[in-house]
Amino acid sequence: MSSRFDYSRSSVIALALAATSSIVAAAPCDIYASGNTPCIAAHSTTRALYSAYTGALYQVKRGSDNTTINVAPKSAGGVANAAAQDTFCSGTTCLITIVYDQSGRENHLTQAPPGGFNGPESNGYDNLAGAIGAPVTLNGQKAYGVFISPGTGYRNNKVSGSATGDAAEGMYAVLDGTHYNGACCFDYGNAETNNLDTGDGHMEAIYYGDNTVWGSGAGSGPWIMADLENGLFSGLGATQNTGDPSITYRFVTAVIKGGPGNWAIRGGNGASGALSTYYSGARPSGSGYNPMHKEGAIILGIGGDNSNGAQGTFYEGVMTTGYPTDATENSVQADIVAAKYATTSLVSGPTYTVGGSVSFKATTAGYTDRYLAHTGATVNTQVVSSSSSTALKQAASWTIHTGLGNSGCYSFESKDTAGSYIRHYNFGLQVAANDGSKAFKEDATFCPQSGLTGSGSSLRAWGYPTRWVRHYANNGYIASNGGVHDFDAAASFNNDATWATSTGLA
């Protein structure tokens, strides 16, 4: 080499640049483009999905003044600048208002409008996701996913370039494999353009969860299935396909593709290894499914008719035109694995020691003699002092446990009623016996962070990251800042949702 080449400074630089560009991994949409099945939409709050993309990934709105910022990758093709969000949202609450389309077609996802089912917002729209519910790291760099609670959803009904009718398309999404439920429907993909159920075959979307009303896979779920409208399909029919496995990965790559006469479900671990094919073959025989009647809207977190009872977490996903080859998808999976998704802490602020006890004192002026306590099943605030009875002190004391629904957060057992925990139910707080159900465990799990006022501690409901433990009219709620209920009132929100913590009073 050295005898044949002149290593002048400029040629060394040129060689270095060539080497650098050749080792820059193509991002998912570069890979789909080289497979002649380009992305028509690319959505991610965690990273750029084109190696050259430098534009906005998502928009957040903060509660303190309703202003917004766009969060972009830190570098071309890179990970989202989560620090920009953290700075902007410091001392207040934030919602994800827009997930931008990186394809250049402006197929952005925004708050889903009312449909066959209406959302919980006063105007019938779905809720927006809280901005901090799904923290992760990619190659060690912090980013946030879109944590979909029941009632939350995003949509675009005017999509440019998406598959309609029986035309071919592909899609993938990277999801949290541990965040799901059996309600309808945590979807990402192609849906009706009018928010209504317009019939069999009018959708083609990734579904993730353990719903068994239609199809199912092996074991007890959750499964990757396809929502083709009026049915979740694990294979040929809306029945059981034991080739569609229960998923146990923390990060899941879910793939659906469909073209004239055939379709496929593929999946794998989003943090290692390859994709497997769980189904590939003929269309379901039901009337509307062959040919398909795709309409071309894009939904996230809901069903095509805005059914919004499901939950799940979305990190990234794309829609393509054309039927991607398995080889193309396998390269995309390699890129996802190389992005190195990993978990990170869900909490911040004061230390909570499992096995210890804690009491929560209100910090709102005029209420600072009150503690979070309970009277029977009702969680409220009560005036407690050093001269109070032991019974009252116990009613205001809680034993700290590892979160029943997520080990990264905490659950609080009543000091005077062993086996009963603080849980939320219809957004009110209760003390209730642990019935062992997944719903109970999740509703009894809270993620503390540095107090919204800048001191003390605020407790986010794990399953509803827009909602915080708050006292309102001396009762306990999980409240969203400026939401539709009276207990969501924006006035005094930060103070009412910030607690001074101490070792349990009893």
DSSP 173-189: EEEETT---SSS--EEE
Two structure tokens written together for 51: 């190696």
For residue 468, the minimal CB distance to ligand NAG (Å) is 16
Two structure tokens written together for 266: 């593929």
CB closer to ligand NAG, 44 vs 59: 59
CB closer to ligand NAG, 66 vs 437: 66
CB closer to ligand NAG, 31 vs 95: 95
For residue 101, the minimal CB distance to ligand NAG (Å) is 25
Q: What are phi and psi of 486, to 5 degrees?
A: -60, -40
CB closer to ligand NAG, 6 vs 65: 65
Contact 191, 158 (CB under 8 A): no
Side chain identity, residue 474: N
Nearest residue to 165 via CA among 95, 237, 260: 260
Is 486 in the active site? Answer: no
Contact 459, 446 (CB under 8 A): yes
For residue 372, the minimal CB distance to ligand NAG (Å) is 26
Nearest residue to 472 via CA among 428, 505, 423: 428
CB closer to ligand NAG, 67 vs 351: 67
* Separation between Cα atoms, residue 108 and residue 58, nearest integer Å: 9
CB closer to ligand NAG, 42 vs 129: 129
Q: Which of 187, 200, 295, 305 is catalytic?
A: 305
CB closer to ligand NAG, 236 vs 489: 489
Helix and strand tally (H, E) in the chain?
7, 33
For residue 485, the minimal CB distance to ligand NAG (Å) is 13
Q: What are phi and psi of 404, to 5 degrees?
A: -65, -30
For residue 481, the minimal CB distance to ligand NAG (Å) is 9
Nearest residue to 173 via CA among 201, 214, 145, 131: 145
Close Cβ partners of 133 (under 8 Å, ≥ 6 residues apart)? 144, 145, 147, 149, 313, 460, 465, 466
**Which position's Cβ is nearest ligand NAG?**
66
- Count of residues making up the chain: 506
CA 252 to chain centre: 13
Integer CA distances (angstroms), 268 to 121, 248, 249, 254, 271, in order: 35, 10, 8, 7, 9
Is 229 in the active site? Answer: yes
Question: Tokens 């207990």 label which residue?
Answer: 487
For residue 490, the minimal CB distance to ligand NAG (Å) is 6
Neighbouring-strand partners of residue 282: 262
Q: Residues interacting with ligand NAG, by CB under 6 A?
A: 65-66, 482, 490
Residue 82 neighbours by CB distance under 10 Å:
22
For residue 62, the minimal CB distance to ligand NAG (Å) is 9
DSSP class of residue 192 equals -
State the catalytic residues: 229, 305
